[in-house]
Amino acid sequence: MKKVITYGTFDLFHQGHYNLLARAKALGDYLIVGVTSDSFDLERGKMNTCNNVMERIDAIRSTGLADKIVIEEYKGQKIDDIQKYNVDVFAIGSDWEGYFDYLSEYCEVVYLPRTEGISSTLLRNERPLVRIGIIGTGSIANRFVPESEHVNSIFVQAVYNPEKSQADEFCRRHGVPYSAVSTADFYAEVDAVYIASPHYTHYEYAREALLAGKHVLCETPFVFKEAEAEELYRLAEERGLTLMVALKTAYCPAFGHLLSLLKSGAIGEIVEVNASTTTLMSEDSDKLDSRYYGGSMNENACFTLLPILKLLGTDYRRINFYSKMKNNVDVFTKALFQYDHGVASFQVGLGVKTEGNLVVSGTKGYAYVPAPWWKTDYFEMRYEDQNRNKKYFYPFDGEGLRYEIKEFVSSILSKDYFYSKVSKRENLVMAKVQEQYMNLENVYWI
Ligand code: C2G
């Protein structure tokens, strides 16, 4: 029996893919199709896929051409597969001409003619475009525009800043077409809004945008009151709009893999989580100004709360906060969480520096994520028997923002898309923790 193998993403499955599979099948008696996993595509910089791996596999299966479907998860897997399945022919489209010649050491390599005039890229470009508007033109907004260029089906159309000259300057710098004079004018131009304005303005802008029928991606910290978060979710749900918080750590591939490993018992039962995020700031920064909701909790707590809520859940019994204050804001806060079956703590600081790592302790070992853990591409699992220690590396591209932008766009364009990187409940609890702190419940000065 002559075995043939081919690989691809097969996004938005089309006639070109079908022809390629039919041609590959005709080269032998048994066709194996390797389909890239979602994380492998992200790793190799393919950010724009519209279908997830299960949808792509279903499309291939329904052609009836594949005798076996495998998932391609890592660079170098092709050699392993060819040997493992005793493959005779590796086939791929002619757009890869020459690239896979190195496989001829293991089997015959055939480049098949591509079907002209059709491609996933063309189909993706036919999909509706989400026109996004940005509120606020600070440093994070400046990073957003270049990152959004890596994501399909999104276009930065307009900018709003009450200080119009700053919006004008932003538009010039990034080639954004429209600098709005008012929010009403701004909403008329866009389908979705990215809120990158100062913390204390998030709630008002998010509410206004949702009432205007716009999808919302809101920077962190989301809002400072649980009732405000609840109201925003209700407005979004009633209108069928996407409301997402731009907590970029949640969208980093390494963080996602860390959670999956820990949830599947890699270190046994989780007993403690400790996370630190500190960023020294100059004293005259707005981030340390009480009039603008400055302070370490408001600036950084959402990051450190993320692994705690993800790993120990949202039903903690009690939180105590210990804060060092200066000019009416916390330059450092340590929080201690008591759960029924575990404990957690975090340190945040704008005026105190510490090691910014994440350690998760379990009954069989611990996970160590070095600083800066909130934008990590690397972590380790460590055990009593050091021979069992393992290092995990998941590279990501650019600033990491493109992953959350991609999720945002996918959830707008695919009606049944379910985004769950940070749940509604987790976002509500984050707001509740901020509220508890602002109300000085269980807050102690040091
Ligand atoms: N293809 C084709 N005609 C088209 C479009 C695509 O013959 N009009 C072929 C490609 O040449 C490839 C296969 O269909 O052989 C899958 O294409 P993609 O989904 O674009 O996958 P690709 O990024 O080429 O992945 O490990 C993955 C592989 O290296 C290739």
Q: CA nearest 60: which of 90, 35, 87, 91?
A: 35
Q: Report pLDDT digits (tens) over 37-72.
A: 988 888 787 777 888 898 899 999 999 999 999 999
Ligand 1 atom 14: the closest Cα is on which residue?
17
Mutate to test the pocket of ligand 1, among 6, 7, 81, 124 (most ligand atoms within 8 A of CB): 7
**Per-residue pLDDT, 50:** 82
Q: Is the pLDDT of residue 342 over 90?
A: yes
Please report the domains of the chain, with CATH numbers, ordered by start residue.
3-122 (3.40.50.620), 128-248 (3.40.50.720), 253-395+415-445 (3.30.360.10)
How far apart CA 355 and CA 256 sit, in angstroms, is 22
Residue 221 has pLDDT above 90, yes or no: yes
Residue 416 has pLDDT above 80, yes or no: no
pLDDT of residue 278: 96
Residue 268: name the closest of 151, 376, 388 by CA: 388
Q: How far is the CA of 154 from the centre of ligand 1 (A)?
A: 24
Task: Inform me whether the pLDDT recorded for 188 exceeds 90.
Answer: yes
Q: What is the pTM of this model?
A: 0.82
Residue nearest to atom 9 of ligand 1 (CA): 93
CA atoms within 13 A of residue 379's CA, in its CB half-sphere = 26
Ligand 1 center to 17 CA (angstroms): 7
CA of 38 to the centre of ligand 1 (A): 15
- Residues 248, 365: Cα–Cα separation, whole Å: 27
Q: Whose CA is nearest to atom 30 of ligand 1?
A: 8
Q: What is the pLDDT of residues 289-308, one digit of tens each?
A: 988 889 999 999 999 999 99
Angle CA 83–84–85, to nearest 5: 95
Residues with CB under 6 A from ligand 1: 7-11, 16-17, 20, 36, 72, 92-93, 95, 114-115, 118-120
Our mutation pick for probing the ligand 1 site, out of 74, 114, 121, counting the most ligand atoms within 8 A of Cβ, is 114
Q: Is 14 exposed, middle or buried (0-12, 13-18, 19+ CB in 10 A)?
A: middle
Greater confidence (133 vs 420) lies with: 133
Pocket-testing residue among 4, 10, 20, ligand 1, by greatest number of atoms within 8 A of Cβ:
20
Average model confidence (pLDDT) for the chain? 94
- Give residue-wise pLDDT tens across range 68-124: 999 999 999 999 999 999 999 999 999 999 999 999 999 999 999 999 999 988 888
Rounded distance from Cα 269 to ligand 1 centre (Å): 43
- pLDDT at position 99, please? 96
Q: Is residue 216 a contact partner of residue 398, using CB atoms and an 8 Å limit?
A: no
- How confident is the model at residue 341, as a pLDDT? 94
Position 418 scores a pLDDT of: 60
Predicted local confidence at residue 125, as pLDDT: 77
The separation between the first and the last C-alpha atoms of the chain, rounded to the nearest angstrom, is: 75
